[in-house]
């Protein structure tokens, strides 16, 4: 019940507000979301940040007004620059390398965050992130598989809305990986390694 109220509060207006105070209240959320020292707090913060960036909102209510968006971007770049990860993609990758609970919150965060061009570029330029997201074996529980799959769909949807990116050969491999992962569905239809013909060179005695 409380979570439901918090989610409602963090719909568009609330999200704009927590990013618009000076200093932004959301700074605490961003700091905790990427602090690996406190698991419970980090998990809650990642889910809150997922709500702030609009994972639970739809379509054009995901992105906030220009000043809130600018604050969001600078909070995340700021946080990244103060850690050993240095970039937002580094922060997000480290989230995806943690346990399943944290990863699920991470998928939610990326699903919302990727609606921003700067985040899309961070994600699609980081093969390690795409590899985790498109790996059928990353998740073993239904909820994790579904969150991972939704995340792939969100990235692909935003990516394919840019004709410039679609036509850039640098992203062709990444795009087909995402496409393949989406096609396999959330539960994977786990593809078994196909039998490879083994070519042996003839040994001479």
CB nearer to ligand NAG: pick between 16 and 131:
16
Say if residues 30 and 75 touch (Cβ distance below 8 Å): yes
- Residue 8 Cβ, how far from ligand NAG at the closest point, in Å? 17
CB 90 within 8 A of CB 122: no
- CA 108, CA 56: separation in Å to the nearest integer? 9
20 versus 94: smaller Cβ distance to ligand NAG? 20
Residue among 24 and 90 whose Cβ is closer to ligand NAG: 24
By CB under 6 A, is residue 68 in contact with ligand NAG? Answer: yes
Q: Interface mask (CB under 6 A) for ligand NAG, residues 7-26, using x and -?
A: ---------xx--x------
Instruction: State both tokens at 94.
Output: 């480290």
Q: Choose between 64 and 96: whose C-beta lies nearer to ligand NAG.
A: 64
Q: Which residue, 174, 29, 177, 175, is CA-closest to 105?
A: 29
**Least separation, in Å, of the C-beta of 109 and ligand NAG?**
22
Q: Rounded to an integer, what is the distance from CA 7 to the centroid of its chain? A: 19
Among 38, 61, 67, 74, binds ligand NAG (CB under 6 A): 67
Strand, coil or helix: what is 21? Answer: coil
Residue 166 · residue 160 · CB < 8 Å: yes
Q: What's the min distance (Å) between Cβ of 13 and ligand NAG? A: 7
| Nearest to 151, CA basis, from 169, 124, 172, 173 | 124
Q: Which is nearer to ligand NAG, 70 or 135 (CB)?
A: 70
Binding site for ligand NAG (CB under 6 A): 16-17, 20, 65-68
């Amino acid at each position: 019940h409380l979570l439901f109220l918090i989610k409602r509060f963090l719909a568009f207006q609330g999200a704009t507000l927590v990013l618009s105070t000076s200093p932004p209240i959301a700074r605490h959320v961003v700091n905790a979301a990427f602090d690996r020292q406190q698991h419970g707090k980090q998990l809650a913060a990642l889910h809150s940040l997922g709500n702030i960036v609009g994972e639970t909102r739809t379509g054009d209510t995901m992105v906030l007004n220009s000043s809130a968006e600018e604050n969001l971007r600078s909070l995340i770049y700021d946080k990244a620059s103060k850690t050993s990860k240095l970039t937002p993609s580094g922060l997000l990758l480290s989230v995806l390398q943690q346990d399943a609970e944290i990863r699920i919150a991470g998928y939610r965060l990326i699903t919302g965050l990727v609606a921003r061009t700067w985040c899309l570029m961070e994600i699609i330029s980081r093969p390690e992130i795409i590899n985790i997201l498109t790996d059928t074996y990353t998740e073993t529980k239904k909820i994790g598989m579904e969150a991972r799959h939704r995340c792939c769909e969100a990235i692909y949807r935003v990516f394919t809305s840019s004709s410039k990116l679609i036509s850039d050969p640098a992203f062709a491999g990444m795009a087909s990986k995402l496409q393949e992962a989406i096609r396999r569905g959330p539960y994977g239809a786990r593809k078994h390694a196909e039998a490879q013909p083994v070519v042996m060179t003839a040994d001479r005695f």
